[in-house]
Amino acid sequence: MSPERPRRSTRELRASCDETLDAVRRRFEQLESAVAQFSPDLDETAFTAAWNSDDPIERNRADSVLSSFEKTYMLLMDLIALSVKIGRRLGVVTGDEKSSPVEVLRELKVVSADAERALRVQREVRNSSQHVYVELSVPDLREATKQQLDTSPRIIRGVASWVKALPPEPAEEASSPASPGER
C-alpha cells in the first residue's frame, strides 16, 4: 500500500492542471505530426503497410502514431481528472464522487456526449494496445486516432476554459498548509 500523500492545495492542483494542459497540447502536436506521415487522412493502406512491414523504420513510423495516440489519451484523462478535482475542491462539482470525471464534465456540458463516446472508444483501443497488443486492430487504432484528432482540440479548449472560469481557492486554503492526512 502506498503511503498517504499530503493534500495538494487548489493552487498546486491548478499548477498541475496547467502543466498537464501544456503537455497534452505538445503531445497532440506530435500526434498530428505522426499522422501527417500517412497523408491524406491517415491513409489506411499506407498505415497498415507500415504497421505490418518487415522494415523497422516503417514500423517505427506506424508506432509513432500509436505512441502519440496513447499518450494524448492519458494526458487528456489526467487533464479531465484534475479539472474535476479542482471543481470538487471549490464546491462547484457536487454529487456522487464515484462518477467518472468524463461523465461529470459531460453533465456540466464542458464536454459533449460525442466527445464522451470518442473517449470511450479511445480508452478501449488504448487498453487493447496495452494489454492484448497482438489483438490490436489497425483499423480500430486508425478510427480511434481520427476521432482523437477531431475531438481533442474541443475537449482541451472546453476543459481549459472551464478551469479558468472556476473561482479562486478559498482564502483559508491559500494561507494555511494542508493537514498531513489530507490528499
Q: How far apart are CA 168 and CA 174, in angstroms?
A: 9
Q: Would 138 be classed as within a structural domain? A: yes
Q: Would 38 be classed as within a structural domain? A: yes
pLDDT band at 179 (very low <50, low <70, confident <90, very high): very low
What are the start-end ranges of the H helices in the chain?
A: 10-36, 44-51, 56-89, 101-107, 113-131, 138-165, 171-175
Q: Would 122 be classed as within a structural domain? A: yes
Which pLDDT belongs to residue 173?
53
Q: Per residue in 42-74, pLDDT tens?
A: 999 999 999 999 999 999 999 999 999 999 999
Residue pair 82/17 in contact (Cβ under 8 Å)? The answer is: yes
Domain that holds residue 40: 10-168
Q: State mean pLDDT over 97-121.
A: 95
* Cα-based distances in Å from 99 to 95, 120, 148, 154: 8, 14, 23, 22
The yes-or-no verdict on residue 171 having pLDDT over 80 is no
Q: State mean pLDDT over 155-177.
A: 80
Task: Provide the greatest CA pair distance for the chain.
Answer: 61
How many structural domains compose the chain?
Answer: 1
Q: Would 99 be classed as within a structural domain? A: yes
Grid cell listed for 9: 492545495
pLDDT band at 181 (very low <50, low <70, confident <90, very high): very low
Which pLDDT belongs to residue 132?
65
Q: Would 3 be classed as within a structural domain? A: no
Helix axes 138-165, 44-51, angle to 10 degrees: 110
70 or 171: which carries more pLDDT confidence? 70
Q: Would 182 be classed as within a structural domain? A: no
Q: Would 181 be classed as within a structural domain? A: no
CATH number for position 124: 1.20.120.580
pLDDT band at 128 (very low <50, low <70, confident <90, very high): confident
The yes-or-no verdict on residue 83 having pLDDT over 90 is yes
Q: Would 173 be classed as within a structural domain? A: no
Q: What is the percentage of the chain residues whose pLDDT exceeds 90?
A: 78
Q: How far apart are CA 40 and CA 70, in angstroms?
A: 21
Q: Is the peptide bond before 40 cis (omega within 30 degrees of 0)?
A: yes
* Cα-based distances in Å from 130 to 51, 70, 71: 16, 9, 12
Q: How far apart are CA 115 and CA 155, in angstroms?
A: 7
